[in-house]
Amino acid sequence: MEEVKNMKRILVADDEARIRRLVCDFLKNAGYETIEAVDGREAIEKFFSVGSIDLVICDIMMPEADGWEVTRKIRESSSVPILVLTARSQEFDELMSFESGADDYVTKPFSPGVLVKRVEAILKRSKTSNPQNDDVISIDGLVIDIPAHTVTNNLRAVELTIKEHNILVKLAKNHGRIFSREQLLDSIWGIDFVGDPRTVDSHVARLRTKLGDWGEAHLKTVYGVGYKIEVEKS
């Protein structure tokens, strides 16, 4: 049991340094690995760049992007458990948190020890309701090992850049769903990206070429809308 917990990685986002460090210290003492973010934008960027986050703890009132925006952005491509913190105990805040996709809600001030128990309970529920391994995606002979950053197509290795790999993971995790150029830019390049949005098109084109016949069959362009991975129904 203890070995499993030690593997868990938690992203803690709060612009109050004292609260953020207090939460991280208690989580570390409980055997978890923590990653800190000082505002909403950094939370979003770290979630999509670090990879393999097991749970997110985020404050509602943060600069750059509030906790609800962070939750909604993460929910576009992930079902990772999210625990929201707030200094206000208004019903509106609670409802907004759940509507944005949060799994639990804690009002400040709170007991760090109780917060750790909440974390343990959420992770236990998540493991029970999601027994499959979300770290490995397999679609019609293509296997994506997300932590190892490897892709094989019918057992043959496919060499991808980081951006190509991240595009493939996002589309594969949500196969059948269309993502616009802007959505891919925000989640993979970051919300502060400055440059030509058509860079997405060139990355997808190279990715499709590298995936060969699989790419032609499954990586689809929906003209005027965006991109998706299409899986044939048997």
Q: Determine the pLDDT at residue 126.
A: 66
Mean pLDDT in residue range 11-19 = 93
Q: Please state, in angstroms and rounded to a whole number, the distance separating the CA atoms of residues 153 and 234.
A: 20
User: d(Cα 166, Cα 146) in Å, to the nearest integer?
Assistant: 9
pLDDT band at 92 (very low <50, low <70, confident <90, very high): low
List, as one string, the DSSP characters of 37-101.
Answer: ESSHHHHHHHHHHH----EEEEESS-SSS-HHHHHHHHHTT----EEEEES---HHHHHHHHHHT
Q: Which residue has the higher pLDDT, 129 or 121?
A: 121
Rounded mean pLDDT, 25-32: 93
pLDDT of 17? 92
Residue among 36, 9, 53 nearest 146 (CA): 53
Q: What is the pLDDT of residues 155-199, one digit of tens each?
A: 889 998 888 999 999 999 888 889 998 889 888 887 777 778 888
For residues 28-50, average pLDDT: 91
Say whether pLDDT at 91 is over 50: yes
Mean pLDDT of the chain: 84
Most confident of the ranges 49-58, 141-150, 215-224: 215-224
**Most confidently modeled of 11-15, 47-51, 123-127, 171-175?**
11-15
Q: What is the pLDDT of residues 134-167, one digit of tens each?
A: 678 888 889 998 888 889 998 889 998 888 999 9
pLDDT at 39 over 60: yes
Q: Is the pLDDT of residue 131 over 50?
A: no
Cα 27 to Cα 7, 34, 35, 115, 197, distances in angstroms: 12, 7, 11, 9, 39
